[in-house]
Amino acid sequence: MNNNLISLKDVRVQDLHGTKIESLDWQMQAGEAWLVIGPNGGGKADFLQALAGEKQFINNKTNKVEDTVFEKSAETVSLERAALLIQEERDLDESEYIDKIDEGRSGRRFICEVLGGPDAKHRHLPLPPIASRLETLPEVKLCGVEKILDRGLKFMSTGEIRRTLLCRALLSGKKLLILSDPFAGLDAQSRSILLEFFQTMVGRQNGGGLNGTSIIMAMERYHEIPQTITNVLEFTDKKISFCGTKAEYEKIVEQRNIQKNANRKSEKEAFLSELSEAQNALSQQNAVSRQNAVSAEQSLVYMNQVNVGWDGHEVLKDFSWEVLPGEHWFIRGPNGSGKTTLLELITGDNKQVFCNDVWLFGRKRGTGESIWDIKKNLGIVSYRLHVEYRMVGGTELENVIISGFHDSIGLYEKKTDMEITAAKKWLKLAGFEGREHESFGNLSYGEQRAILIIRAAVKSPKIMILDEPCHGLDEQYRQKILDLLETVANSGTTTLLHVTHDPTEVLEAEKHILELCPGEKPMYKIIVKE
C-alpha cells in the first residue's frame, strides 16, 4: 500500500517573479512529523509557500504543475499571519467615530468565519448559532482559547492570537497545517499548550492515516523541538542540504555546534571590529549621537499611576515607572500581561497615553508635541513596523536603512552622501554587502527583521524599543544582532527597552528588569541586578 501523502521528484519552486528553488526531491508519508529548517534566505520559506499553494511546484521534465494531496487545502500559522491580522483589525478600528473603544472582531467571530457561513464574516451581523457552543468543541479546548473567545483580536497577546489562529486552522478542515516558528514570543504556559497540541495532532496523524490533518513544523533554529518530530528537511542556499531522520540530523547539529563554538570568539571579534569601523567612520552620524545624548538628570520615560484597559479589562493599573539614560531594561511577563501595551504608550500607538500622566524626554504627552518630535528620538523594532514595511515591500534595502534617519516607512527625501555611506557600511555589517539595491519584499522574514534592526540603530536614537527583535532570525543572524545590541547598549548614547521570552537573548547590559504580573497587587515588579 502506498502511504505517500506527497511525492516530489525533480521539481522546481516558482512564482510570478521566477524560479526560487531549481530542483528538489522529497516525499512525505502518512504518520510522519516533519521539521523544515534552514538559515534565513535559504529556501525554506519558498518551499513552505509552495506547499501552501502560494507558489507552484513545476516538474522540470514535463514543465507541468505538480499537484499534491494538499492542493488548496493548507493553512499556515505564522508570525507574519499574526502580525497581518492585528494590522487588519487596526485598519478597521472605528474608535474615532464612536463614543467607546472599538474592540473589532472577537476571537469567537474570527473562528466562526470558517464555521458559520458567509454572514459570519460581517462584523456587524449576528453570530451564527454555532458561536454559542464553541467552548464545547474539542479543537477549542485543545488550543486553550476558551477564556479569550470574546476578547478583541487586536487586544490579544502574541501567544493568545497564535492559539486563536491555530484553533481556526483546525476547524477549517484543511488537510495540511504548517506551523512556522510556533514557539517564538510565547511564554512558558503557551509553549506548554502548544507542545501538548503538537503531540496530540501527531497522534492523530499516526492513527488517522491519509484522512487526518497533517502537520509540518518550520523553525529558524534547532531548539525546543518536540520529541514527536520524526524527520527533518533542511534548506541552505536554495537547495536541500539534509533530508532524513531526526536522530541523524541531531548528530550533524552536534558536530556543527562544536565547530561553531570553536569559531565563536574570532567571529565576534571580527564583527565588533567592523561595527566599530561603521560607527567611527561616520563623523556626522557621531555628531547626531552627541546631540541626542541627554543629561543624567532628565528622565527618558516617566509614567505616574498609569491606568490602561477597556470594558472593565485592566491591562495596566496604578503603574509607575521611570527610565533614566544608561539604564537598559529587560521587560518580561506572561503573554497578555501588557508588555506591548506599555511600549505602545511610548510610541504613541496606544491613544490612552493622552489621558494618563506620561512624560517622554522631559515633556508630558499631550502638550502639543508632534509625533515627529517623539519619533526622532526612537528606534523601533516591532510586529507593527514589520507589517507596515512589508506593505511597501518594493523598497530597496539601502533606502530602508536610510529611512531610519527620517522616521518614515519608505524613503521620500533625497539621499545624502553621508546617508548612502552609512547604509552601505551597516548593510555590510549585517551580511548584506552588495545587496543594497535588492527589494525588501524579496527577503525572507528573518532577513527583513535583521534589516529593520539595523534601520532602528542607524541614527543612534535616545531609546531603542525592541519588541521580540530576534523573531524569525536564524542562529547566525541572531548572534550578530545580539552582539550589535550589546555594543549599542555600551555606546552611552542609546538606552534599550527590550522585550523577549527567550532568556538566552537577555543582554549583559540589561541590569534593570521590569516584570509585569497580571492579577497581582501591584501588577508589576522592578528588579535591579548587581
Q: What is the pLDDT of residues 299-313, one digit of tens each?
A: 899 999 999 987 677
CA distances from 367 to 41, 300, 322, 362, 373 (A): 45, 16, 19, 11, 12
Domains of the chain: 4-16+34-41+49-229 (3.40.50.300), 281-528 (3.40.50.300)
Per-residue pLDDT tens over the stretch 478-488: 888 888 888 88
Count of helices and strands (H, E) across the chain? 15, 19
Decide which of 265 and 67 is more confident. Answer: 67
Answer for the pair 527, 515: CB distance below 8 angstroms, yes or no. yes
Output the nine-digit C-alpha cell for 339: 508588555
CB 459 within 8 A of CB 401: no
- 218 close to 198: Cβ distance less than 8 angstroms: no
pLDDT of residue 275: 67
Whether the CB-CB separation of 154 and 89 falls below 8 Å is answered with yes
| Cell reading at 480 | 550578530
* Count of beta carbons in the 10 Å neighbourhood of residue 391: 11
What's residue 63's pLDDT?
94
pLDDT over threshold 90, residue 236: yes
| Span 428-449, average pLDDT | 87
- pLDDT at position 224, please? 65
Q: How many CB atoms lie under 10 A from the CB of residue 241? A: 15
Lookup result for grid cell 547604509: 423
Pairing of strands 357-360, 329-332: unpaired
Give alpha helix (H) positions in 440-503: 445-457, 475-489
CA atoms within 13 A on the CB side of 236: 6
Average pLDDT over residues 448-477: 88
Average pLDDT over residues 228-247: 93
pLDDT surpassing 70 at residue 8: yes
DSSP 445: H
Q: Spell out the residues 6+ positions from residue 99 whose beta carbon is closer than 8 angstroms to its own.
A: none
The better pLDDT of the pair 4, 2 is held by 4
Q: What is the CA radius of gyration of the chain?
A: 24
pLDDT band at 295 (very low <50, low <70, confident <90, very high): very low
**Other beta carbons less than 10 A from residue 56's beta carbon:** 17
> Which distant-in-sequence residues (6+ apart) come within 8 Å of 475 by Cβ?
39, 220, 221, 260
Element (H, E) at 473: none
Average pLDDT over residues 50-78: 86
The set of cell numbers assigned to 184 is: 517564538
Confidence of residue 296 (pLDDT cuts 50, 70, 90): very low
pLDDT of res. 208: 46
Which 3-state string (H, E, C) describes 67-136?
CCCCCCCEEEECHHHHHHHHHHHHHCCCCCCCCCCCCCCEHHHHHHCCCCCHHHHCCCCCCCHHHHHHHH
Quickly tell me which residue has 472577537 as its cell: 106
Among 180-184, 388-392, 455-459, the least confident range: 388-392
pLDDT tens digits, one per residue of 357-366? 999 998 888 8
**pLDDT per residue as tens digits for the range 108-159:** 999 998 887 666 667 777 888 888 899 999 888 888 889 899 988 888 877 7
Q: Residue 157 corresponds to which cell in the numbers above?
A: 497577546
pLDDT above 90: residue 368: no
Q: What is the pLDDT confidence band of residue 272, given thresholds at 50, 70 and 90?
A: low
Given a cut of 90, whether residue 58 has pLDDT beyond it is yes
Reply yes or no on whether the pLDDT at 166 is more than 60. Answer: yes
Give the pLDDT mean for 240-258: 90
Burial class (CB in 10 A: 0-12, 13-18, 19+), 522: exposed
Quickly list DSSP for 222-286: --S--TT--EEEEEETTEEEEEEEHHHHHHHHHHHHHHHHHHHHHHHHHHHHHHHHHHHT-HHHH
User: How confident is the model over 434-440, as a mean pLDDT?
Assistant: 92
Least confident of 46-50, 67-71, 333-337: 67-71
CA distance 205 to 214: 6
**50-54, 172-176, 474-478: which has the highest mean pLDDT?**
50-54
DSSP string for residues in 170-196: HHTT-SEEEEESTTTT--HHHHHHHHH
Residue 95 exposure: Cα atoms within 13 Å on the Cβ side:
14
Query: Taking residues 249-254, what's their average pLDDT?
Result: 90
| Strand order from edge to edge, sheet including 378-381 | 378-381, 463-467, 495-499, 329-332, 512-516, 524-528
Distance, C-alpha 92 to centroid of its chain: 22
Question: How far is the C-alpha of 472 from the C-alpha of 239, rounded, in Å?
Answer: 20
**pLDDT value at residue 158:** 73
The fraction of the chain above a pLDDT of 90, given in percent, is 29
**How far is the C-alpha of 438 from the C-alpha of 424, rounded, in Å?**
12
Res. 94 pLDDT band, cuts 50 70 90: low
In the chain, the amino acid numbered 153 is: L
